[in-house]
Structure 1
Amino acid sequence: NPVASEGQWYKSMAELIPEFEKNHIKLEIQAHPNDFIESSNEAAKLIRSLDLDWVSQVWCSAHAFYSDGGVGDVTKEIMDSKDVLTHILIADTLNYKSNFGLRYIINPPEAPVTIHQHLNPGEGEVDFDAMYKALKAIHFDGIVTNNVFAWPDKVDWSNEQTLPGIKKGLGIN
């Protein structure tokens, strides 16, 4: 229930804000598939509503299609959050809405599951060129994290595939 969940979130924040401020804790909030806020734009609005400079947003490229109902417009998502964005998580995913919603093979069909992938960039359908261009346009200088977890048995290989592309996209030598 998104409305009830949001109300509970504000109630929790009212209790937590004094503790966070007393202990100098910064808070990063992320929209997430199947949470009460799945859209990065709605998460940015929630963050702005607090009007606290120590509360900011994490944006995850692997959630791009969930964030806007299958469009995957990473430029719009980043631009909508540019004033509160401090952390980017990098991973690829397939668009769950493509192929008439049948992008994934699930047996039996219609099984009540959520597919949540964090693939190496290039293994899915996220537009990384547009993402890096948008990050450059807003002069992003926050945290960037390799967020691939599709290959726990090949971590070194996955990192070798991912890290050079992240550095190139960010313009890091």
Structure 2
Amino acid sequence: MVKIAYDPTPLHHDFALLDFPDAVARLGYDQLHLTPHPDFAPFFRHPKADDELVAALKKRAADAGVSIAALLPVQRISWPGEAERQAAVRNFARVIELAAELEVPVINTEFSGRPEESEASEASFYRSMEELLPLLHREGIRLNIDPHPDDFVEDGLEAWRIIRGLNDPSVGFVYVGSHTFHYGDRATSLIPELGDRLGAVYAADTFDHVRSHGLRYITNPPGNAVRVHQHLDIGDGDVDWQELFGALRTSGFLDRDDALIVSNVFAEDERAEESARSQLRKLRELIGA
């Protein structure tokens, strides 16, 4: 059956990395989705964990009864600039080593290119995958990718086409609830298309930025090339969770042992514990409905 994990980003200001497993266990979760952290694998930089830290983290997780379900690195693997792309590949290769040392079977990530240079970014993505896929295959690690807002591809269907173009079943899709409207609000058609290549779902809510004739959000000056979304508690935005989980249920995702749902609320740090417990309760209800 699908696993539920916690994204510990709200804990960064109050807990050290090695305290995450205990904190997550106290919140009621037994799965941890390890996102960028300055002591482990920061955004866009080379990972900072050594063998000693990895061993300590592995022991703390085991002692807490918490599994590290996946790592989430964010590196510029689709960057149109070659120097940045090469650095990202080196950094990502080290993340793969860390995942193997931690015995983590999944890496979830983003394309991390630029929308204003989409063609060059797509070419960079495929070039990076030529280097990284052999490393992933060697370690038996699955890779799932999210087309994040402000990436070179944001539409969910087009992102799936790019992933499918790799012709590699070990690479799948991350469906992020709070990116629903940037994907094209197409859960009921996209999720069946993904089939068993849907590897992870992130559960956080957001408002539909295209409602009210595009005036749901107002930025000044008008026409700014910005992407706006939130990571709210389930039910606090416009995502149709019954529709989304209906599609997940019909597709068989909720019955798969290798499927992962991640609570990743970032907008409620001042009530992080209450939010985490509420998210877990709501997710269990949605799964069991």
Do they superpose with TM above 0.5?
yes
Runs ≥4 in structure 1, deviation > 4 angstroms? none
Partner of 1:23: 139
How many angstroms apart in 2 are the aligned matches of 1:157 and 1:15? 42
SS at match of 2:152: coil
| CA distances 1:138-167 after superposition (whole Å, capped 9, x unpaired) | 110210111211111211111233221111
- Alignment-derived partner of residue 143 in structure 1: 260
Structure 1 equivalent of residue 180 of structure 2: 64
The answer for the alignment partner of 2:271 in structure 1 is 154
Q: Count how many residue pairs are aligned between Structure 1 and Structure 2.
A: 168
Q: Which runs of 5+ in 2 are unaligned?
A: 1-116
1:130 aligns with 2:243: yes
Q: Where do 5+ consecutive residues of structure 1 fail to align?
A: none
SS in 1 for 2:269: coil
Cα distance in 1, alignment partners of residues 174 and 132 from structure 2? 19
Question: What is the CA deviation profile of residues 6-27 of structure 1, one whole-angstrom value per residue up to 9, with x for unaligned ones?
Answer: 0111111112222222233321
Asked if structure 2 preserves the Cα contact closer than 8 Å seen for 1:61 and 1:74, the reply is no
Tell me the TM-score normalized by structure 1.
0.89
Report which stretch shifted further, 120-129 or 45-54. 45-54
1:105 shift after superposition = 4.6
* Residue equivalent to 2:127: 11
Q: Which residue type is aligned with residue 167 of structure 1?
A: R
**What is the alpha-carbon distance in structure 2 between the residues aligned to residue 100 and residue 51 of structure 1?**
39
TM-score w.r.t. the length of structure 2 is 0.55
Report the structure number with the largest CA radius of gyration. 2
Post-superposition Cα deviations, 1:35-84, rounded to whole Å, max 9, x if no partner, equal 0111222222222222222211111111010001xxx2321232232241
Q: 1: CA distance between counterparts of 2:261 and 2:276?
A: 14
Match of 2:211 in 1: 98
- Corresponding residue for residue 222 of structure 2: 110
Give the drift of 1:109. 5.2
